[in-house]
């Protein structure tokens, strides 16, 4: 792509403040300015910015030589590594679209996602290829990420043909984490990603010091992009981890002098529970993000007490909609919320008939921002279903899928997922209200509540708990009785079960569908 020899870091920083720019060009500029600085690290080694630029160009050139069309996807499947990151960045550099696929999906779902993406190439690691078999992804060119990329890419020194992105050009497709059927492909444009991450990169540069990030969630997840793309736009260093492990994460953070990270709540909980946590030096940590799943006030409080640096919770969707930010270190009395809409974001609360509700009243959240998806790949009907059109203005808003309320100061408190709301005897029951009461009990480490079919009430609340150390299943009856005594008559649990671990996705989302299956096996219809 090429950069001018007289370009400076200050010049690149100034470019990041512009309304739109080229992500690939910014990376090339940083490589010209600081070729010897570390850019990417994984468990096997590191690449400098000069090496990063060389490999991105050579992979992009080979993709172009093999017929990659502008706007065509490049599928990626496997554990997060330097090679994975390179292919993601090279797909965008070549004028294509990065399409990382969810490793936890079934073989049929993966085949469906690859077909939906329109990719002609799939980069897959050996472990996943062995699992799926040699006949997987018929018709696609398969390149083994951890074995073949170095030999497959164009010869050293090869530069890819120029590509200057337009605002609406697709940047990536992120496939949703649906548990049934083929996940929907969420398309993000170059403009959306620039608006989302150039501002973050600018703030990282403005804060001064070395920018060193630790990305420990999978690169197929939109969550991970916060710890991956902005630090690279800012010319920093990013370590990617293949599988989260508390000891390895802490060792990397200490050795690398990590300054920023993104963790999901279950990762924070595991770190807080790790016996040797306090033995590691995390003094370089300046900024910690969290998103993707409910983050309890108690856990936020413990993280603020025991981990240095700012803590910012992000509430949004992969599809876009409103972006809420909670700088938890600045608002210790608002830890039960997800913060307030960020600049450029708007939020409304609607009833079930799509009418706005009074302040403080729970309802369905709809939002809009400057970072909205372009739509679902090949699914215009699903795209329309996800939108709400304001009848007064004709403006388009994204349905967030959550129920929440806004307090007098504009902070947003989530009550639950709309699809998880329980309607019992005609009354709306929010699982989070019951979960909060359960988790106050010292005998309970973690709780989840779901709605199950009931002949008498339509639906009835059923609880699951992970018991605290020292508690046993013999305590369940007392826990349930004590909890129900604190709840309204319409809210009371009809059953309570103990489980060893809550079922979660790879990025820590609680899988209530799995709990419903378990409840079906344990309980007849009430």
Nearest to 41 by CA among 258, 221, 210: 258
Distance from C-alpha of 515 to C-alpha of 494, rounded to nearest angstrom: 15
Q: What is the pLDDT of residue 524?
A: 56
Q: What is the pLDDT of residue 101?
A: 96
Report the pLDDT averaged over residues 269-294. Answer: 95
pLDDT bin (cut points 50, 70, 90) of residue 488 is confident
pLDDT bin (cut points 50, 70, 90) of residue 266 is confident
**Residue 177 predicted with pLDDT over 80:** no
* 294 vs 228, residue with greater confidence: 228
pLDDT bin (cut points 50, 70, 90) of residue 1 is low
Segment 335-390, tens digit of pLDDT: 999 999 999 999 999 998 999 999 999 999 999 998 889 999 999 988 998 999 99
pLDDT bin (cut points 50, 70, 90) of residue 5 is low
pLDDT bin (cut points 50, 70, 90) of residue 256 is very high
User: CB 229: neighbour CB atoms within 10 A?
Assistant: 25
- Asked if residue 325 lies in contact with residue 287, where contact means CB atoms within 8 angstroms, the answer is no
Cα dist from 78 to 55, 141, 209, 228, 501, whole Å? 19, 16, 33, 17, 25
Give the percent of the chain with pLDDT over 90. Answer: 83
HSE-up of 219 (CA within 13 Å, CB side)?
28
pLDDT bin (cut points 50, 70, 90) of residue 410 is very high
Q: What is the pLDDT of residue 320?
A: 87
Question: Which tokens hold the place of 173?
Answer: 């497709």
Q: What pairs with residue 263 in β-bridges?
A: 290
pTM metric for this prediction: 0.86
pLDDT bin (cut points 50, 70, 90) of residue 418 is confident
Nearest to 83 by CA among 152, 150, 130, 34: 150
Q: What is the pLDDT of residue 39?
A: 98
- Asked if residue 240 lies in contact with residue 47, where contact means CB atoms within 8 angstroms, the answer is no
pLDDT bin (cut points 50, 70, 90) of residue 178 is low
Distance from C-alpha of 486 to C-alpha of 413, rounded to nearest angstrom: 21
| Residue 302: partners with Cβ closer than 8 Å, 6 or more residues away | 272
Segment 183-238, tens digit of pLDDT: 899 999 999 999 999 999 999 999 999 999 999 999 999 999 999 999 999 999 99
Q: Compute the C-alpha angle 506/508/514, nearest 5°.
A: 85
Q: What is the pLDDT of residue 2?
A: 56
Segment 422-456, tens digit of pLDDT: 988 877 888 988 999 999 999 999 999 999 998 77
Q: What is the pLDDT of residue 469?
A: 95
Q: What is the pLDDT of residue 522?
A: 87
């Amino acid at each position: 792509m090429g950069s001018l020899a007289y370009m400076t870091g200050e010049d690149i920083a100034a470019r990041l403040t512009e309304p739109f720019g080229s992500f690939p060009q910014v990376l090339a500029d940083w490589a010209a300015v600081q070729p010897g600085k570390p850019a990417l690290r994984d468990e096997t080694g590191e690449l400098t910015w000069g090496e990063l630029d060389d490999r991105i160009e050579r992979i992009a050139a080979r993709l172009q030589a093999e017929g990659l069309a502008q706007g065509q996807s490049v599928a990626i499947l496997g554990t997060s590594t330097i090679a994975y990151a390179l292919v993601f960045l090279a797909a965008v550099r070549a004028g294509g679209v990065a399409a990382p696929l969810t490793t936890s999906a079934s073989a049929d779902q993966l085949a469906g996602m690859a077909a939906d993406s329109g990719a002609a190439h799939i980069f897959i690691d050996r472990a996943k290829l062995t699992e799926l078999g040699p006949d997987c992804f018929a018709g696609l060119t398969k390149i083994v990420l951890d074995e073949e990329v170095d030999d497959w890419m164009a010869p050293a020194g090869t530069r890819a043909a120029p590509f200057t992105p337009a605002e609406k050009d697709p940047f990536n497709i992120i496939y949703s984490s649906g548990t049934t059927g083929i996940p929907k492909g969420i398309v993000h444009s170059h403009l959306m990603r620039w608006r989302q991450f150039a501002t973050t990169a600018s703030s990282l540069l403005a804060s001064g010091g070395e920018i060193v990030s630790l990305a420990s969630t999978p690169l197929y997840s939109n969550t991970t992009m916060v710890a991956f793309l902005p630090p690279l736009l800012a010319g920093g260093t990013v370590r990617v981890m293949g599988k989260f492990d508390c000891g390895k994460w802490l060792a990397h953070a200490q050795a690398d002098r990590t300054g920023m990270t993104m963790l999901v709540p279950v990762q924070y909980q595991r770190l807080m529970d790790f016996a040797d946590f306090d033995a590691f030096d995390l003094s370089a940590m300046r900024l910690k993000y969290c998103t993707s799943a409910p983050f309890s006030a108690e856990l936020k409080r413990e993280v603020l007490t025991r981990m240095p640096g700012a803590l910012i919770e992000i509430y949004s969707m992969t599809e876009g909609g409103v972006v809420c930010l909670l700088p938890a270190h600045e608002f210790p009395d608002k830890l039960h919320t997800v913060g307030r809409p960020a600049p450029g974001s708007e939020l409304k609360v609607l009833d079930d008939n799509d009418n706005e509700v009074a302040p403080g009243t729970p309802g369905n959240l709809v939002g809009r921002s400057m970072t909205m998806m372009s739509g679902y790949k090949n699914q215009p009907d699903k795209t329309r279903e996800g939108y709400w059109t304001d009848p007064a203005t004709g403006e388009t808003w994204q349905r967030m899928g959550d129920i929440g309320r806004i307090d007098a100061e504009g902070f947003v408190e989530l009550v639950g997922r709309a699809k998880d709301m329980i309607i019992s005897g005609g009354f709306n029951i929010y699982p989070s209200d019951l979960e909060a009461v359960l988790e106050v009990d010292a005998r309970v480490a973690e709780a989840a509540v779901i709605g199950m079919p009931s002949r008498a009430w339509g639906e009835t609340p059923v609880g699951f708990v992970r018991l605290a150390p020292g508690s046993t299943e013999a305590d369940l009856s007392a826990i349930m009785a004590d909890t129900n005594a604190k709840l309204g008559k319409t809210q009371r649990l009809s059953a309570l079960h103990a489980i060893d671990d809550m079922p979660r996705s790879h990025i820590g989302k609680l899988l209530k569908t799995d709990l419903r299956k378990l409840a079906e096996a344990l309980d007849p219809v009430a």
